[in-house]
A and B are shown apart, each in its own frame.
Chain A
Amino acid sequence: MSFLGYRRSNGSVGTRNHVLVIPQGIIAKSICDFVVGTKMILTVDHGSGRTANDREQIARVLIGLGQNPNVASVLVHAASPGVGYPELRAERLADEIATSGKRVEVLDPAKDGGTYGAIVRGIQLGRQLVYEASKLRREAVGDEHLCVGVKCGYSDTTSGIAGNPAVGYLYDKIVGAGGTALFGETTEIIGAETALARRAATPEVAKALLDAVAHREALAKSTGLDIRTVNPVPSNIKGGISSLEEKSLGAIHKAGTAPIQGVLKYAERPTQKGLHFVDNWMGHLSIFAGYAAAGANLVLFQLGGGGVAGRTLLEGSPSVVAPFLWCTANPKTYATAQDSIDFYSGTVIEGTETPEEAGERLYRTVVDIASGTLSHSETLHYAEPIDMYLEEPRF
């Protein structure tokens, strides 16, 4: 099978064709307000007062988003408060993004006539870039060019029974076709790590996975808190999940059954195809930007219930450049939010579809959206701020 994608000069394939403007700030916002087809990352963290490790993590997010196959070309400006750090210099970001073969332009208020001069030049350049990008046509490519990331959230017991298994089927299918699939949420594999470690492709991968869990569990214990007051979160408990272990054992179904090829850091790009575990945090305003920076050209949120009718489904663009799908297996969630849900697998609970049939339907939905059909969240011109996953203290 195949989808219709944008082939890039380095051989990667995009499901979208954006021009990206980074980092955040008035220059990026002004360019994106004026020029159609542009995307920006909205986040409050510029890197000031951050440790070298965390600054490198921010750089990895920005560079990774720029290198994402869904991006045709990139504008980098040098007006961020963090730009004085070596990791976050505009030229450094631009040079690393350019290794992917894309056109990258740098805007510098010091050379372009101040902030407003840089905005004007950025609008002029941005118009050129989106015009240039629009000449590219989609072509049929194989599923080995799919790279997907998933999070399950507001989980309830429908997540483990029918929602995550449908995603697991999709993951097996993509990995089987030579594609790449990412899952993570280290806290949410506590209690399920032994089962996962058995699927590691090598003993080193098994050790890395168990080490990530041990580190996270030790941190949890060091708080002295009863984890049940934190996670499972109240909406999980309201939905019938009784313990972190139960949540984890349901959560891992979204990873299918393929061998785990590697354990990655947040926003780290895999060096090979296949299924990978990402040592990240569950927050959806954090995790999807990390997947996109790792190269995901499509991401999925597998939703349980938890009173989602209002706010949750209006949160847009947490994946910045990757199309974002909402999936659920909860009939009540689906009934209250059909206008935002891209895929429903409560059919498995209702007995009208097998998990395999639902998974196959999810795969076809993914191929459609990868080929250009909009996901429901893409119909909103709205972006929530990204909460980059940074673990070290600030000074």
Chain B
Amino acid sequence: MSARRALIMHPSDNVATAVEEIQPGEDVAIPELQRVIALRATEAIPFGFKIALEDIGRGETVRKYGEMIGKASAAIAKGALVHVHNLEGTRARGDLERSGER
């Protein structure tokens, strides 16, 4: 296995953070405390951006640092980039308050 390319912050996380530029189709190694998770990037993951460790359905919780960082606003496939296009925060959302969604 080549040098680490992404870091996981907590064992329960379903995303990892790329610490190198990852190209589509590249294998990603995520060293963890007990095991090494291996997966293949389905698209480019820039340095500092997140990659999905598993399939995450629309509306499901995205976890980093062992905590909820938001919900999937679209279905996210394992190996995909996770960012503002498919993940939305749910806190302090005045727009949702106004539309009565929360």
Instruction: List chain A positions with a Cβ less than 8 A from chain B.
Output: 156-158, 160-161, 187, 190-192, 195, 216-217, 220-228, 237, 239-240, 242-246, 249-250, 305, 330, 349, 351
Contact = CB atoms under 8 A, between A and B. Distances in A.
Contacts of B7: 161, 349
B64 A249 contact: yes
Contacts of A161: 7, 9, 17, 19
Contact of A191 (B49, B87, B89, B96): B89
A239 B83 CA distance: 10
Contacts, number: 102
A130 B82 CA distance: 56
Interface of B: 3-4, 7, 9, 17, 19, 46-50, 64-65, 67-70, 82-84, 87-98
A228 B92 CA distance: 9
Contact of A245 (B46, B67, B82, B96): B67
A234 B49 CA distance: 14
A227 B94 contact: yes
A62 to B, nearest CB: 32
9 contacts: A158-B48, A160-B65, A190-B91, A226-B94, A227-B93, A227-B94, A237-B83, A242-B70, A244-B92
Given A157-B48, A240-B48, A240-B49, A190 B65 contact: no
B22 to A, nearest CB: 12
A190 B92 contact: yes
Given A157-B48, A249-B65, A349-B19, A242 B87 contact: yes
A196 B76 CA distance: 30
A222 B94 contact: yes
A224 B95 contact: yes
Contact of A156 (B48, B64, B92, B98): B48
Q: Which of A190, A195, A221 has the most CB of B within 10 A?
A: A221
